Amino acid sequence: MASTQVETVSSGADKVRLVLVGLLVIGALAAFYLLSKEGPVAQWGGLVAGLVLAAVVFFTAETGKRLIGFGRDSWREVKKVVWPTRKEAMQTTAFVFAFAVVMALFLWMTDKTLEWVFYDLILGWRK
């Protein structure tokens, strides 16, 4: 079994950026509540400005760049997906429903058979 080793390299500057992001988010939330007396425009403006600034700082850090790369790779993979046609989707759905009905009938018949065997034949309890 092959062992894969994951290396995470983050510099001190990246750690400082991530701490700054956390502080900016906290500051944005604090601004939202502290600016409540100034009106909704100032309140929401402070929140949005703080969150946008936090996002900008986050996406300049290595972690943010990796997240962007992951998003690009994921989008590239989604484009490769071959979606079923309407006919294929309907046939598959019908098969699943039919299988569920057959299994329900089988389990019901098994339950009733075991009930009959145990209660009527073995124990002699008549309903």
- Quick one: 20 and 75 in the same domain? yes
77 and 18 share one domain: yes
Rounded to 5 degrees, φ, ψ at 35 are: -95, 15
Residues 69 and 95 in one domain: no
Per-residue pLDDT reduced to its tens digit, 25-77: 999 999 999 998 999 999 999 999 999 999 999 999 999 999 999 999 999 99
DSSP the chain: -----------HHHHHHHHHHHHHHHHHHHHHHHTGGG-HHHHHHHHHHHHHHHHHHHHHSHHHHHHHHHHHHHHHHHHH--PPPHHHHHHHHHHHHHHHHHHHHHHHHHHHHHHIIIIIIIS----
User: In which domain, by residue range, is 125 found?
Assistant: 84-127
- Confirm whether 48 is domain-assigned: yes
Q: Are residues 70 and 98 in the same domain?
A: no
Query: Do 45 and 74 reside in the same domain of the chain?
Result: yes
The answer to whether position 93 is within a domain reads yes
Domain assignment present for residue 42? The answer is yes
| Residue 111, in any domain of the structure | yes
The answer on 75 and 21 residing in a single domain is yes
pLDDT of amino acid 6: 55
Q: What does the pLDDT average to over 86-107? A: 98
How many CB atoms within 10 Å of residue 10? 12
Question: How far apart are the C-alpha atoms of 35 and 20, rounded to whole Å?
Answer: 21
Residue 120 is assigned to a structural domain of this protein: yes
Note the pTM of the prediction, 2 decimals. 0.56
Q: Is residue 41 located within the same domain as residue 69?
A: yes
- Give the pLDDT confidence score for residue 8 in this predicted structure: 60
Assigned domain for 28 exists: yes
Length of the chain: 127
